[in-house]
A and B are shown apart, each in its own frame.
Chain A
Amino acid sequence: SHFHLDHCGALPYFSEMVGYDGPIYMTHPTKAICPILLEDYRKITVDKKGETNFFTSQMIKDCMKKVVAVHLHQTVQVDEELEIKAYYAGHVLGAAMFQIKVGCESVVYTGDYNMTPDRHLGAAWIDKCRPDLLISESTYATTIRDSKRCRERDFLKKVHETVERGGKVLIPVFALGRAQELCILLETFWERMNLKAPIYFSTGLTEKANHYYKLFITWTNQKIRKTFVQRNMFEFKHIKAFDRAFADNPGPMVVFATPGMLHAGQSLQIFRKWAGNEKNMVIMPGYCVQGTVGHKILSGQRKLEMEGRQILEVKMQVEYMSFSAHADAKGIMQLIRQAEPRNVLLVHGEAKKMEFLKQKIEQEFHVSCFMPANGETTTILTNPCIPVDISLGLLKRETAIGPLADAKKPKLMHGTLLMKDNSFRLVSPEQALKELGLAEHQLRFTCRVHIQDPRKEHETVLRVYNHLKGILKDYSVQHLPDGSITVESILIQATAHSEDQGTKVLLVSWTYQDEELGSYLTSLLKKGLPQSTP
């Protein structure tokens, strides 16, 4: 879903060592940035920590060759049945939420996302795709975050205090993301406070960053896009390119340098020069992998062993400021409201069950909410819709019958469902018979009703006719010349009983379609004829 190591760190292992050989999809920025982080990660783990069972640089290259990059909102057909679509997730450059669809069943996996925009990224967004299941991160669901303003204010305060007392501030950054944001922040602050201390960023950082921003400008937010059009991303009034020699200059300064975890390169070089002075400060803006200097000093270590068994004593102030954003409870509710899933599954790291959040989601959205533990299997029942094509003729005919179609109420229609070769069609019965080469059968019921009447047949018929005409006022009752009676399409004929002249046998005959009227007539006639009939 994005280039953070906790999401892509095992990809080369998976494809090159475990043997996964299926397709690999990610967004364009992720594809561009992943390999850099993976290579850094590999270098630290193998060269610094001495891991042996780890993927190699070549494996990273081979893995990335297999990657297919996707655009936002582009439906990608993985095979005849499986489709995927990426949605903007905020969080970091290129982060996406993925919808995975087979037929009309779908799952949305969010990865890490953020519902509030920040200085360089927009907020996550998804349409009302109504997936059967939404899998969301919920580690930060229980946090109520302090405002960005307060964090930034504290960051600026720390930098300002250090610079005011003549100290130097080192901010190790990864080329993308927060570096840009922090630069904008400092530039504005320096301008407002009319500060003179120099701010630098290392050139490696600016080249790479500019390059990526140019490539992926559509992934950033509106404000960044506007300023980028006007000027170079790293063209600031108060921030200049760094030269190695500047690190030895006396007096206060602020330097942004790569790499972000202090594990090699320029940021580590500068750190070694400045660590011994307690007037200086290093501000770590994010997570550091175990084994890096960044990780060690954040854990509280103040004596570090460098190459050649040299011990470095860290007297400078070590601060940690995380600006990375995840969705809180409010954000999760917002996403659920946008996507309208039928079920929700929360992924979390808490041992304690988050019953409260589960109930909150279930009550508000009337959906089931699951929170399985690692290794646990959850079964979710879906109600798949099966799409059926209806013939135009049938549709026209059925909509013409009965009350007018109402967009809000379902209308009952009759037709024949033909299932052939994975296609479903609804057609009229006549059409179905024709297609199947079958003849239509007519179903006709006949019932004999015995009536006590000694008179002649045609007199009995007349009696029956008058009787029915009197009762069935809303129906068409006719006395035909051939001596039979019709009630709508039902036929009644009278014959004499073969053995008993006093009994007449009425033959009542009706088609399947007139079942109801037919049975009604039969029971009516069974009651007998009234005595006084003209």
Chain B
Amino acid sequence: YRDLHTFELQAPTRLIEWARGSRVCVAGYGQSDGNEILQLIPPPTLLTKETQGLCPERDFKVECGGFSERPVYSLKYVPDTSLLVTSGPPDSSLQVWQMSAEDSDVIKSVSPIATENGTGQSWSKITTISARAPWVLHGSRLDRVQITEVESRKNVYTAASGGSEELSSLAFLDCNTLLLCCATGRLCLADVRQPQSLVEAVSAPSAPCSEHWCMGTRHGAQGLEPSSQPVARLSSKGLLTLTDLRKTSEFLALAKARVPSPGSGAEFLCVSWAPALEGCLAISGFDGTVHVYDTQSWDSSGREAEPIFVHKGHAFGGAGGSGDPPLVTVHTWHLQKPRTLLSAASDGSLHVWDWVQPCGKC
């Protein structure tokens, strides 16, 4: 490590979202009501490029917070507005929140966005964009994908049905192109301008036992064609595939991560690309660790890949020895510092760490 800071949240979070002004947002997902949404100001040590010395200001500060009656599984800020959207069980509706004006630190609940709640519906996956207007793309299943204009609550797009599989995540590749990832691993593309245009890009990988898949897309650097960025998919058994959306007939790369088996389920599977390191991605959700890989050396053989760094802090953090070992619920990359990540675990810990590349190019 170059640096490691450990914090303890009052309640564990399964999301870490970046907001304007380097703010970070976390939220509780526990069963009982009274979950908190907290927008935090990171300590100055994490905001500057150089690593500071024994800086007196080493703590996160809660800038504002809100109370949610339901567990918060997903949260996204709506760009160009002072709103944010959350989702979580028991149904697929979305909750909308308003950040308060200067004199108050409460995030207020505003009326929700209702969705069709059919049988067997789980919580909606969400993502936001502000192109033509502030939009939220949401859906719990492949046949329930919609785009709602956040301020007017108008439905501006409904995707054609391509099946009823559960979705694991969705993303805007640009202001017109949607990428949907099903839990089965199937990837579908759609164009907002053509409602009937849902197309399967990559089929679900065939596997004897059902694995759960999630995806990670790269926030492309300026000027680069979004679909030229490879899409990573991670399975609950540790399989990683990289696909170029322009050439979906074959994998760019296929590798296997060394993960414990039997796995601990697919609840917190997370894969993400490093914004400032070419070809680096991180995975978590299998145990109390976060793995960082350099995919530039990968081929399509499906061999086991060696991580360039493993963060084990959450496994050793615990106060007491009782109960299950903590499970990493989410991780995210720092947007400017190339090797800094934030990760959270089921015991409420929140770590910020920066590693040193032992040798090589990363």
- Contact flags B148-170 to A (C-beta < 8 A → 1, else 0): 00000000000000000000000
Contact (A360, B36) CB under 8 Å given A146-B43, A352-B105: yes
Chain A neighbourhood of B4, CB < 8 A: 150
Pick the contact of A158 from B40, B54, B350 — CB < 8 Å? B54
Q: Is B321 an interface residue (CB 8 A)?
A: no
Chain B neighbourhood of A360, CB < 8 A: 36, 65, 67
- Contact flags B39-76 to A (C-beta < 8 A → 1, else 0): 01001000000000111101111111111000000000
Chain A neighbourhood of B66, CB < 8 A: 356
Residue of B nearest to A161 (CB): B53
Contact (A150, B6) CB under 8 Å given A144-B40, A158-B54, A363-B34: yes
- Contact flags A322-358 to B (C-beta < 8 A → 1, else 0): 1000000110000000000000000000001111100
Closest chain A CB from B22 CB (angstroms): 15
Contact (A364, B5) CB under 8 Å given A317-B53, A359-B67: no
B53 touches A158 (CB 8 A): yes
Closest chain B CB from A59 CB (angstroms): 34
Q: Is A441 an interface residue (CB 8 A)?
A: no
Complex alpha-carbon distance, A144 and B46, angstroms: 14
Pick the contact of B65 from A147, A330, A356 — CB < 8 Å? A356
Q: Is A142 an interface residue (CB 8 A)?
A: yes
Chain A neighbourhood of B54, CB < 8 A: 154-155, 158, 283, 319-321
Q: Is A526 an interface residue (CB 8 A)?
A: no
A142 touches B61 (CB 8 A): yes
Complex alpha-carbon distance, A158 and B53, angstroms: 8
The stretch of B7-15, B186-194, B206-214, B253-261 in contact with A is: B7-15
Chain A neighbourhood of B7, CB < 8 A: 144-147
Chain B neighbourhood of A355, CB < 8 A: 100, 104-106
Q: Is B116 an interface residue (CB 8 A)?
A: no
Complex alpha-carbon distance, A154 and B45, angstroms: 13
A322 touches B56 (CB 8 A): yes
Q: Is A143 an interface residue (CB 8 A)?
A: yes
Q: Is B324 an interface residue (CB 8 A)?
A: no
Interface residues of A in 149-176 (CB under 8 A from B): 149-151, 154-155, 158
Complex alpha-carbon distance, A356 and B103, angstroms: 12
A147 touches B106 (CB 8 A): no
Chain B neighbourhood of A317, CB < 8 A: 53
Residue of B nearest to A351 (CB): B103
Closest chain A CB from B317 CB (angstroms): 8
Contact (A151, B58) CB under 8 Å given A144-B40, A352-B105, A360-B36: yes
Residue of B nearest to A322 (CB): B56
Interface residues of A in 272-286 (CB under 8 A from B): 283
Tell me the count of chain B residues lying within 8 A, CB to CB, of chain A.
32
A363 touches B59 (CB 8 A): no
Chain B neighbourhood of A150, CB < 8 A: 4-6, 58
Chain A neighbourhood of B58, CB < 8 A: 145-146, 150-151
A144 touches B62 (CB 8 A): yes
Chain B neighbourhood of A147, CB < 8 A: 5-8
Complex alpha-carbon distance, A320 and B8, angstroms: 23
Complex alpha-carbon distance, A364 and B11, angstroms: 15
- Contact flags B257-287 to A (C-beta < 8 A → 1, else 0): 0000000000000000000000000000000
B106 touches A359 (CB 8 A): yes
Pick the contact of A356 from B8, B61, B64 — CB < 8 Å? B64
Closest chain B CB from A184 CB (angstroms): 18
- Contact flags A359-381 to B (C-beta < 8 A → 1, else 0): 11001100000000000000000
A144 touches B6 (CB 8 A): no
- Residue of A147, A149, A158, A364 with highest tally of chain B CB at under 10 A: A147
Contact (A354, B105) CB under 8 Å given A142-B61, A143-B60, A363-B34: yes
Complex alpha-carbon distance, A146 and B4, angstroms: 10
Residue of A nearest to B105 (CB): A356
Chain B neighbourhood of A321, CB < 8 A: 54, 56
Complex alpha-carbon distance, A147 and B60, angstroms: 11
Contact (A146, B10) CB under 8 Å given A319-B54, A354-B105: no
Complex alpha-carbon distance, A147 and B56, angstroms: 13
Complex alpha-carbon distance, A233 and B60, angstroms: 35
Pick the contact of B10 from A330, A352, A353, A354 — CB < 8 Å? A330
B103 touches A144 (CB 8 A): no
Pick the contact of B104 from A143, A145, A283, A353 — CB < 8 Å? A353
A329 touches B59 (CB 8 A): no
Closest chain B CB from A484 CB (angstroms): 69
Complex alpha-carbon distance, A471 and B93, angstroms: 66
B62 touches A142 (CB 8 A): yes
Complex alpha-carbon distance, A354 and B43, angstroms: 19
A144 touches B9 (CB 8 A): yes
Chain B neighbourhood of A155, CB < 8 A: 54
Residue of A nearest to B108 (CB): A355
Contact (A146, B59) CB under 8 Å given A321-B54, A356-B65, A363-B67: yes
Complex alpha-carbon distance, A354 and B8, angstroms: 21
Residue of A nearest to B317 (CB): A147
B8 touches A353 (CB 8 A): no
Pick the contact of B59 from A143, A283, A364 — CB < 8 Å? A143
Chain A neighbourhood of B350, CB < 8 A: 144
Chain A neighbourhood of B63, CB < 8 A: 142
Residue of A nearest to B9 (CB): A144
Residue of A nearest to B55 (CB): A320
- Contact flags B1-35 to A (C-beta < 8 A → 1, else 0): 00011111110000000000000000000000010
Chain A neighbourhood of B34, CB < 8 A: 363-364
Complex alpha-carbon distance, A334 and B350, angstroms: 21
Interface residues of B in 80-134 (CB under 8 A from A): 100, 102-106
Closest chain B CB from A320 CB (angstroms): 5
Chain A neighbourhood of B6, CB < 8 A: 146-147, 149-150
Residue of B nearest to A140 (CB): B59
Complex alpha-carbon distance, A364 and B67, angstroms: 11
Chain B neighbourhood of A154, CB < 8 A: 53-54
Residue of A nearest to B37 (CB): A356
Closest chain A CB from B345 CB (angstroms): 14
A145 touches B59 (CB 8 A): yes
Interface residues of A in 260-309 (CB under 8 A from B): 283
Chain A neighbourhood of B59, CB < 8 A: 143-146
A146 touches B5 (CB 8 A): yes
Closest chain B CB from A260 CB (angstroms): 16
Chain B neighbourhood of A144, CB < 8 A: 7-9, 40, 59-62, 350
Residue of B nearest to A157 (CB): B54
Complex alpha-carbon distance, A356 and B62, angstroms: 10
- Residue of A144, A145, A329, A355 with highest tally of chain B CB at under 10 A: A144
Complex alpha-carbon distance, A142 and B65, angstroms: 10
Closest chain A CB from B279 CB (angstroms): 30
Complex alpha-carbon distance, A151 and B57, angstroms: 11
Residue of A nearest to B104 (CB): A355
Closest chain B CB from A169 CB (angstroms): 12
B103 touches A352 (CB 8 A): yes
B53 touches A319 (CB 8 A): yes
Residue of A nearest to B42 (CB): A144
Complex alpha-carbon distance, A283 and B56, angstroms: 11
Complex alpha-carbon distance, A330 and B36, angstroms: 13
Task: Name 13 A/B residue pairs within 8 A (Cβ), A-sorted.
Answer: A142-B62, A143-B59, A143-B60, A144-B350, A145-B7, A145-B58, A150-B5, A154-B54, A283-B54, A320-B54, A320-B56, A355-B106, A359-B67
The 3 closest A-B pairs by CB, nearest first: A144-B60, A356-B65, A142-B62
**Known pairs A144-B40, A146-B6 / 5 extra A-B pairs, C-beta < 8 Å:** A158-B53, A319-B54, A353-B105, A356-B65, A359-B67
